[in-house]
Amino acid sequence: MKRALFPGSFDPLTLGHYDIIKRGVKLFDEIIIAIGINADKKYMFSLEERKKFIEEAFKDEPKIKVDTYSGMTIDFCKEVGAEFILRGLRNPADFEFEKAIAHTNRKLSKIETVFLLTAAKTSHISSSIVRDVIRNNGNYTLLVPDSVRVK
């Protein structure tokens, strides 16, 4: 079974994440969307809210599971039996950052990173932009799946 881990904070899940996951499902037998827990980071949405957004967005996709983890991503990959890490790339800066992490992960483990380019229509979307739109009472619904709703 080809199992991939798609790690992130997903604060919140965006249409860019959604697109990468939907396309990744065609490549892997299972994708585990892994919400990383970083005690030093301040999130807009609670862990429970972020998990609910993702579970609701993919409720009809049996090949997708959602889990949480802390620590190193490669350690969690080993724990859940994932041979691949799935990552999306929006721009050259993403590539340089993700390339360094992928090289390090491969040096520390046998886990391969698979990169998918974001779709042109979602390449401008990031979670930080979505949070900024929400903070400023903008129409964030154009940037996130229907499952993401602010109280």
The active-site residue, picked from 41, 42, 107, 151, is 41
The active-site residue, picked from 50, 51, 87, 127, is 127
Active site residue 103: no
Active site residue 42: no
Tokens of 32: 């585990």
Active site residue 41: yes
The active-site residue, picked from 52, 63, 78, 90, is 90
Rounded distance between C-alpha atoms, residue 68 and residue 48, angstroms: 10
> What's the burial of 59, exposed, middle or buried (CB within 10 Å: 0-12/13-18/19+)?
exposed
Active site residue 127: yes
- Alpha helix positions (H), 58-111: 73-80, 92-108
* Active centre residues (catalytic): 17, 41, 90, 127
